[in-house]
Amino acid sequence: MRIGNRLEGEWIDAMLHLMDRQVVDVEGRMVCNVDDLEITLDDDGGTPAVTRLLTGPAALLPRMSGRTGHWLRRRWISLGIQYAHRDVPLAIDLERIRHLGSAVELDVRRDGLLDLEPDAEPGTSHRRLGELLGMAVEGPGGHVGKVLDVRLSADPGRYEFGHLVIGPGHPGSMLGYDRGDFNGPWLVQRIVGRLHRHVGLLSWDEVEAVDWDHGGVRVTEEPQLLTEID
Amino acid sequence: MKKFFGLALGILTAIGGFVDIGDLVTNAQVGARFGLSLGLVVVLGVLGICVFAEMSGRVAVCSNRATFDLVRERLGPRVGLLNLVASMIVTLLTFIAEIGGVALALSLASSVNDLLIIPIVGLLVWLVLWRARFSLMENVLGLLGLALVVFAVALWKLDPSWGHLAHQTFTVAKPGDEDWMTYAYYAVALFGAAMTPYEVFFFSSGGVEEKWTEKDLGQMRANVFVGFPLGGLLSLAIAGCTATVFGPLDVQVDALSQVGLPVGVALGKIGIAIVLVGFVAATFGAACETGLSVGYSLAQYLGWQWGKFVRPDEATRFHVVLVLATMLGVAVLMTGVDPIMVTEISVVGSAVALPLTYFPILVVANDRDYMGEHVNGTLANALGTVYLVVVVLAALAALPLLVLTGMGS
């Protein structure tokens, strides 16, 4: 059984529907996991977009949480200090995805598929979704929460930022109880639902600035609670 | 006819493949010390593994994704990694215990020192993991494992006081000379022996290996809901046998030979011969399953190609992990560590690690995104929630009980 193709829907939640999913080639052979996502920023201030799937230790290790991740990344580099591209992850273009369901299905064979992430085009720069997730969000009235996810529009080859999913960052936001259509079990739904009752959605247009180097997002409005949207 | 044959084969292998070294040792120990007074824990554990396996089998059918794939997706790479490490330690311990169990059983049959047999067993296990077809491995070892039905025959021949055994079971009658702490420790151990996390890795990955589709859901459920409980009856028969033979003598079971002894008492040499076949098949089968589970969980976390449904040269990393795991298992056993002790630790470890895999499966089984129309119904969720509580309680109690009772001594 194959569930519907998310690419045909209106939006994708980057963390919930794309990150950490299995990548499968055109023959059904497994390729890798989605370890992180490449974000392309426009120097002129255009809307950022997810532009590639990233994989490999150079993509996964920095996600292992602040200090541990940093330590792991340095060890990973020092284990192969003579390699030029030790810190550059491997990348897959979004055009290669033909179906996004319980796995990311590609339209090519896996042999020789993974290559280093190319440098950013002139006038743009690259960041990773892993850097954005967990950043503190400051609104006009002070602390709003943390970035839990990014809602993307599924345009071919370029998934533009639509909304930020913002919440207090309690454990379990990847379980999807705050979004998606769950039917239970009652006990888990109550507990997780309560932990995440303050999760909200904020349009990317309300984002004033992202401090990528020090980690922080400034927004002009409070997010709209998901519980009030539905 | 062919369909009926397939159904019967599936159920028979589920019965024969149910018992592993953890069930053999723990049930025999508990039977000798506590009679059948912990029998209801076995029932609880068997129902639990049915609920859990059915859910993960259904998830595998509907989403084509096996357990560890989902663990990382739903818990993230960090918590997922902790989960992976804990689960792999427990599964490796079980793997080591199973290889040791095969060696002990073969050394009982041949009187050759088990240290000489261990490397050969390791080599055989690896050869099966590398070369044998998945279904062949499952069916042959599962059917041979049915030899353990001899425990049920032996119990019948021993003709115990059935009323007494039933009374022990249903009144949860703790023997007067044991304290409640030890009693609780063995309850957790029995529960861990019945509900091992590897069974779920293996079951869900096996569903992908055998390319189950929605049409196979019925077969899967029959295997689980008929095969597993009948396998659980074998566990109870083992406890019943040692309760009848060793219980009155106050003998402790701490060797595999003692586990099979009641069968010898009841049925003589023939019984011993059959029980040895059963021991070898059950432990060898479980060694293959746990070995594969180590590879499954690591490969699924990292996104590598896994499984025996592709040629070994298409899943090279997976097969490298299998080689390394087997070598590690043999190396640990060659230090002369007692496999029975490794077994005792592994069943308690199972109880500790269980919630880590149970919880994500319960969540995903409710996610329409993966499951479509096959999401958990009311019954599955009611049982699932009850077991979530039971599994968490057992996990929290396991280590304190292990320390406080000095491993139940």
pLDDT in tens, B275-290: 999 999 999 999 999 9
Model confidence pLDDT, tens digit, residues A140-158: 888 989 999 999 998 888 8
Using a CB-CB distance cutoff of 8 angstroms, which residues of chain A are in contact with residue B73? 19-21, 174
B376/A185 CB distance under 8 A: yes
- Which has the minimum average pLDDT: A182-186, B46-50, B341-345, B362-366? A182-186
Question: In angstroms, what separates the C-alpha of A193 from chain B's closest C-alpha?
Answer: 13
pLDDT at B281: 93
Question: In angstroms, what separates the C-alpha of A43 from chain B's closest C-alpha?
Answer: 31
Q: Within this chain, do residues A15 and A121 fall inside the same structural domain, yes or no? A: yes
Q: Using a CB cutoff of 8 Å and minimum separation of 24, what contacts does A4-7 make?
A: A4/A101, A5/A99, A5/A100, A5/A101, A6/A100, A6/A101, A6/A154, A7/A97, A7/A99, A7/A100, A7/A154
- Considering the domain boundaries, does residue A228 fall inside one? no
Q: Within this chain, do residues A80 and A19 fall inside the same structural domain, yes or no? A: yes
Q: What is the mean pLDDT of chain A?
A: 87
Q: How confident is the model at residue A181 (pLDDT cuts 50, 70, 90)?
A: low
Interatomic CA distance for residues B176 and B180, integer angstroms: 10
Q: Within this chain, do residues A214 and A117 fall inside the same structural domain, yes or no? A: no
* A17, A174, A188: residue with CB nearest B362: A188
Q: Within this chain, do residues A78 and A123 fall inside the same structural domain, yes or no? A: yes
The 3-state DSSP class for residue A133 equals: coil
Q: Within this chain, do residues A22 and A50 fall inside the same structural domain, yes or no? A: yes
Q: How confident is the model at residue B55 (pLDDT cuts 50, 70, 90)?
A: very high
Residue A115 belongs to what domain range? Answer: 6-128
B77/A35 CB distance under 8 A: yes
Q: How confident is the model at residue A229 (pLDDT cuts 50, 70, 90)?
A: low
pLDDT at A196: 74
DSSP for B175-238 reads -TTS-HHHHHHHHHHHHHHHS-HHHHHHHHHHHHHTT--GGGHHHHHHIIIIIHHHHHHHHHHH
A1 has a pLDDT exceeding 50: no
Among A33, A110, A177, pick the best mutation site for testing chain B contact (most B Cβ within 10 A). A33
Q: How confident is the model at residue B44 (pLDDT cuts 50, 70, 90)?
A: very high
- Partners of A218 in the beta sheet? A138, A209
- CA B265 remoteness from chain centre: 27
A60/B77 CB distance under 8 A: yes
Average pLDDT over residues A19-34: 94
- Considering the domain boundaries, does residue A31 fall inside one? yes
| In contact, B109 and B301? CB cutoff 8 Å | no
What ipTM describes this predicted complex? 0.91
Model confidence pLDDT, tens digit, residues B362-392: 888 888 878 888 888 889 999 999 999 999 9
A22/B214 CB distance under 8 A: no
Chain A, residues 72-91, CB within 8 A of chain B, namely: none
Q: Within this chain, do residues A29 and A117 fall inside the same structural domain, yes or no? A: yes
Q: What's the full length of chain B, in residues?
A: 409
Using a CB-CB distance cutoff of 8 angstroms, which residues of chain A are in contact with residue B376? 183-185
pLDDT at A2: 56
A183/B375 CB distance under 8 A: yes
- Considering the domain boundaries, does residue A230 fall inside one? no
* A29, A174, A183: residue with CB nearest B74: A174
Q: Within this chain, do residues A137 and A72 fall inside the same structural domain, yes or no? A: no
Structure-block tokens of residue B219 = 């077969």
Query: Which residue carries 């207090």 as its tokens?
Result: A168
Question: Could you tell me which residue, A62 or B176, shows the higher pLDDT?
Answer: A62
Domain boundaries, chain B: 2-404
Q: What's the full length of chain A, in residues?
A: 230
- Which helix (H) or strand (E) is A113 found in, with range? none
A197 has a pLDDT exceeding 80: no
Q: CA of A174: which chain B residue's CA is closest?
A: B74
Domain count, chain A: 2
Average pLDDT over residues B78-97: 92
| In contact, A101 and A122? CB cutoff 8 Å | no
* Domain B2-404: assigned CATH number: 1.20.1740.10
pLDDT at A3: 64
pLDDT at A41: 94
Exposure string for B377-403, b = 16+ CB within 10 A, e = fewer: eeebbbbbbbbbebbeebbebbeebbe
B78/A64 CB distance under 8 A: yes
Residue B255 Cα distances to A94, A166, B24, B98, B334, angstroms: 58, 58, 11, 14, 18
Q: How confident is the model at residue A67 (pLDDT cuts 50, 70, 90)?
A: low
pLDDT at B158: 92
A186/B79 CB distance under 8 A: no
CATH of the domain at A93: 2.30.30.240
What totals of helices (H) and strands (E) does chain A contain, helices first? Answer: 5, 17
- Which has the minimum average pLDDT: B202-211, B229-238, B266-275, B310-319? B202-211
Residue A5 DSSP class: -
- Partners of A99 in the beta sheet? A105
B304/A30 CB distance under 8 A: yes
Q: Report the percent of chain B where pLDDT is more than 70.
A: 100
Q: What is the mean pLDDT of chain B?
A: 91
B16 has a pLDDT exceeding 90: no
- Considering the domain boundaries, does residue A143 fall inside one? yes
